[in-house]
Structure 1
Amino acid sequence: MKKITGLTLIGLMISFALFAQGQFPSQMWHKGQIVTADNSVYRGLVKYDLDNNVVQLQTDKAVQTFGSSNVFQFEIFDEVYGGVRTFYSLPFSLNAGDYETPVFFEILTEGDDIALLCREHIVTDNRNMGMGMGPMMMNPMWGHR
């Protein structure tokens, strides 16, 4: 009986991993927390949408949506990449004008005097590269160790 239960559990984990591979991190719920502009901390399952600068929190009671103007920062544990990812809401001019609005940025790395920030953007490329080399040639991480 223990063997069947163990095999069933392994099967569920594999099927979840295969399902998760078909989704981008921004399309999945992650364990995490949200710190609002008034320093309130909310913990639960977190899902983010950088295109619309909103983050959602799912708890046992409901799903709440927070805009970037109401959030100081949020953190998620990304099971796909295996680590904690931290996002901050910072004033930024999206158009070349002078008007700045709060926008979510992810902290890639930070030092004493500088931080490297990024924004995630999903792009689909349907070009046919020929000779079966498409995925290898289009992958920016190919060949890196």
Structure 2
Amino acid sequence: MMLLRLIIISCLFTGVLMHSCLVNAQGYAETVWKKGWVIKKNRDTLRGEIKYSLKNSSVQIKMDKIIKTYTPSGVVSFLFVDPVRRYRRQFFSIPYARKRGSSYKVPSFFELIYSGKPFTLLSRQISVVVRSNRRRGGYGWAEQDVFYLMDQKGRIKELRQTKRSVLKGLGGRERALKDFIKLNRVNVSTREGLVRIVDYYNSITNNNDKK
């Protein structure tokens, strides 16, 4: 519950993040230093320049030419100003069972996309091979978002960017959601679209709970 409160407070500070992405993962996340800070498990806050590794699930912070590396087990969250996307991005360390059907959870970094009740939208970045016109051979590495829903109990489930997956993941108010998607021409395959749908679901759920 403490983590959920931190996420809500952070979202108010950071703002709703609503930009889709597909950028060079190796050349950006792991090699470019970005101004930010790391909040450790003991609540100490370290300020400096940050790099994070998608492959190794770690974050580095450089302070006065000294570089320290942290894994999700030693960090509550880290935040940096993204010079490419031009907004603040914040990642939280959240217990997560990486294998389907497993109850064994390990701390993992998730990016906060949208905070709400009953559902919060998260994402993790993975490196994928994509077709590229800039490189000989036509292929390169890129960073791609995988989205997740987290409920108020901290349970996390993957959310595929299809209407069927979104409706199933939210688990209710299907008619209202279908009408909202159709009326507003919401593209469920984009980050912006997912934020709008989850926000709408939360709003009608909370309004009905007040009645």
**60, 63, 68: which one aligns with 1:64:** 68
Q: 2:93 aligns with which of 89, 96, 99?
A: 89
Are 1:54 and 2:58 an aligned pair? yes
Alignment partner, residue 6 of structure 1 = none
CA distance in 2, matches of 1:117, 1:42: 24
Q: Where does structure 2 lack aligned partners over 5 or more consecutive residues?
A: 1-23, 134-188, 191-211
Higher relative contact order (CA 8 A, sep 6+): 2
- Code of the residue aligned with 2:47 in structure 1: it is R
Distance 2:54 2:122 in 1: 13
* Residue in 1 that maps onto 2:115: 110
Task: Please tell me the residue identity of whatever aligns with 1:36.
Answer: K
SS at structure 1 position matched to 2:103: coil
Q: Distance in 2 between matches of 1:29 and 1:60?
A: 13
Displacement of 1:115 in angstroms is: 1.3
Residue 81 (structure 2) aligns with: 77
Instruction: State the SS of the aligned residue for 1:120.
Output: strand
Q: 1:29 aligns with which of 11, 33, 41?
A: 33
3-state SS of paired residue (1:69): helix
Check whether the contact 1:89–1:104 (CA below 8 A) recurs between aligned residues.
yes
Distance 1:116 1:46 in 2: 23
TM-score normalised to structure 1 length: 0.67
3-state secondary structure, aligned to 1:123: strand
**What is the deviation of 1:26?**
4.3
Larger Rg: 1
Identify which of 113, 123, 127 aligns with 1:122: 127
| Distance in 1 (alpha carbons) for counterparts of 2:123 and 2:31 | 18
Identify unmatched segments of 5+ residues in structure 1: 1-19, 129-139
CA distance in 2, matches of 1:115, 1:125: 29
Q: Report percent identity of matched pairs.
A: 31
Bigger helix share = 2
AA in 1 matched with 2:43:
N
Q: CA 1:83–1:26 in 2, change beyond 3 Å: closer, same or farther?
A: farther
**Superposition CA RMSD, Å:** 2.4
Q: State whether structure 2 residue 42 is matched by structure 1 residue 38.
A: yes
SS at match of 1:125: strand
